[in-house]
């Protein structure tokens, strides 16, 4: 499971359209399709019901979506914090050590 795949999944889940998701992500439609297929292989389940005219999330897709959103948010927060450290040489300080000692 890769962050880029999760971003593509979230966008397709939001738009319910691979074409619109690809446009929003500035990817080729085939790239988004490949990312979704690879993510489905990684999790071992179909995430979208493609049997109708419009895409819809399967039960597995509905369950994955909130996890994908959290993972994407955590990655963005990590990037912001590291960028702040790189710019200013410091960031929010957190105690270090085993949890039992904190």
What are the tens digits of pLDDT across the range 58-92?
999 999 999 999 999 999 999 999 998 888 876 56
Q: How many residues does the chain have?
A: 102
Q: What is the pTM of this model?
A: 0.81
Terminal Cα distance for the chain, rounded: 32
Please choose, from the candidates 12, 4, 27, the residue with its C-alpha nearest in 3D space to the C-alpha of residue 65.
Answer: 12
For the domain with range 3-88, which CATH number is right: 1.10.10.10, 1.10.3720.10, 1.20.190.20, 3.40.50.10320?
A: 1.10.10.10
Lowest mean pLDDT among 15-24, 48-57, 60-69: 48-57
pLDDT for 94: 66
Domain boundary assignment for the chain:
3-88
Residue 102 has pLDDT above 90, yes or no: no
């Amino acid at each position: 499971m890769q962050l880029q795949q999760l971003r593509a999944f979230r966008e397709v889940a939001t738009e319910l359209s691979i074409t619109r998701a690809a446009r929003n992500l500035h990817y080729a439609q085939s790239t988004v399709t490949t990312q979704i297929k690879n993510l489905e292989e990684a999790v071992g389940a179909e995430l979208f019901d493609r049997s109708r005219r419009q895409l819809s999330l399967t039960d597995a897709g509905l369950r994955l979506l909130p996890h994908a959103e959290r993972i994407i948010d955590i990655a963005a927060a990590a990037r912001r914090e590291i960028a702040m450290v790189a710019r200013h040489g410091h960031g929010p300080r957190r105690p270090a050590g085993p949890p039992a000692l904190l």
